[in-house]
Structure 1
Amino acid sequence: MGSDGPLNPWLNMMFAVAPAARPDQALSREAVLRAYTAGSAYAEFHEHDKGKIASGYLADIAVLSQDVLDGTLPLGALPATTSVMTLINGEIAWQDPTF
Structure 2
Amino acid sequence: MKNLFRKTTNLKHQALLITVYTLGLRSGELLNLKIAHLDDEHKTIIIKAAKGKRDRKLPFPESLKGFLRQYFKESRSKTYLFKGKKGLSTATS
Do the structures match in fold with TM over 0.5? no
Structure with greater strand percent: 1
Pick the structure with more helix per residue.
2
Between the two structures, name the one with larger relative contact order (CA 8 Å, sep ≥ 6): 2
TM-score by length of 1: 0.28
TM-score (norm 2): 0.29
